[in-house]
Structure 1
């Protein structure tokens, strides 16, 4: 079995960034994966004391299909984030300053338009969505930190059943794997894997949500993937989640082997 692609998603809901290699750390996500998020204004989230919240509390594909039209690029060296979308003036701002984060939040809020939700601050004033990070926290869809894996053969089986191709990035996984039978990855739950130079423990199958309905090129919901998975295969799952037990370097072309 072979690693074909590696991706991280620095801003929850926004652009995937392709990697040739990555250094995994015990108990963590990929570096910078889901590091930032646009918090909806009606959500109570304290960056100084972060806790897991369901994805609908943030700008995300499940609730805001149009976010796929934002082209984002994060530079971890200087901490800048670039944002661009048709009809909006592109911007580049630092994520390490309050002013930079405010500018990024304002840009994304303007892009969301009517889908931006407002709340009430402690002083009674309106609270707009805000862009943030919380050191040590990742805005993942799982309470437990880890990485996600897609078996490309399982995706091919879904495409054959549906009679159409699906962009693998609809499923926003970190690692895309070849060389095993369709659905064989479900047998890994509760087992350990060697992925490149790292050791993982697979802890659950990935239940697909309405985010996978979205065409990444148009921002339209064009294919009800969860419903079709249930109809054709009797479940809504595609991929697995794994925790990093031992860190190490992982690169495209490396092997994956069950322990």
Structure 2
């Protein structure tokens, strides 16, 4: 298998940022992936004592489809987050200051409108990741599996509906499921594949239009008997991964 694309998602539910290469660290996700989130006003998230919470506690595509229309870009060097909302001039917020985070929260809360609950907060907690699962993971999708779903459903699906970190080509459809419990070499990094990814209504949302115009979870169940696409992997040994690098299984089959 070969790495075709790499993405990070600095703010949970918001824009994917393409990378040509990135260095992974042991026990960590991609740098800056799901680093920030807009916590709903009724979410019990405490930045001083961060704990994993289900995605509904935060602005997320499963519930807030219009988030796809908010285009963002994060500069890790300066801490600035640029937000472009439909019909508005670009906004630049400083994620490193309370005032900057409050301004970002105000802007996104106004954009969510009635979907905002209480007084949402733009949150970060060093070392914490706002992932859909409690472990720090890298998500991987085999494009052959996605193409099998497209063929079965008779629909074209933008890979970004599934918000994976790494998309790989080659291999048979669903071949990545056979990697669960095994170690792989991804570029220069060594990972262990830990579980399949169960797909939720977030994948119904067209990343270009913000409309719910497809039903991948139902299509997966109807055509393949499960609602899973892609796998999560934990980084065992860090290293650089780049577009064009290979994914290789490093442990023997029992």
- Provide the residue aligned with 2:109 in structure 1: 109
TM-score normalised per structure 2: 0.97
Inter-partner Cα distance in structure 2 for 1:110 and 1:88: 12
- Conserved? CA contact 1:88–1:111, under 8 Å: no
Residue 208 (structure 2) pairs with residue 220 (structure 1): no
Residue 55 (structure 2) pairs with residue 64 (structure 1): no
CA deviations over 1:199-257 (Å, ceiling 9, x no partner): 00000000000000001111111111101110010000000000000000110011110
Residue 186 (structure 2) pairs with residue 195 (structure 1): yes
Kindly state the Cα deviation for residue 196 of structure 1 after the two structures are TM-superposed. 0.4
Residue 237 (structure 2) pairs with residue 243 (structure 1): no
Q: Which runs of 5+ in 1 are unaligned?
A: 119-127
Secondary structure in 2 matching 1:82: strand
TM-score normalised per structure 1: 0.95
Inter-partner Cα distance in structure 2 for 1:207 and 1:142: 11
Q: CA RMSD in A?
A: 0.7
Secondary structure in 1 matching 2:72: strand
Q: Which 4+ residue blocks in structure 1 deviate beyond 3 angstroms?
A: none
Inter-partner Cα distance in structure 1 for 2:19 and 2:89: 27
CA deviations over 1:156-183 (Å, ceiling 9, x no partner): 0001011111000000000000111101
Inter-partner Cα distance in structure 2 for 1:11 and 1:178: 27
Aligned residues: 250
Kindly state the Cα deviation for residue 88 of structure 1 after the two structures are TM-superposed. 3.4
- Provide the residue aligned with 1:121 in structure 2: none
- Provide the residue aligned with 2:55 in structure 1: 55
- Pick aligned residue for 2:165 from 174, 179, 183: 174
- Provide the residue aligned with 1:122 in structure 2: none
Matches within 5 A, 1:225-236: 225-236=216-227
Kindly state the Cα deviation for residue 87 of structure 1 after the two structures are TM-superposed. 3.0
Inter-partner Cα distance in structure 1 for 2:67 and 2:100: 20
Matches within 5 A, 1:1-259: 1-118=1-118, 128-259=119-250
Inter-partner Cα distance in structure 2 for 1:157 and 1:224: 15
Secondary structure in 2 matching 1:38: strand
CA deviations over 1:126-160 (Å, ceiling 9, x no partner): xx101010000000001111100000000000010
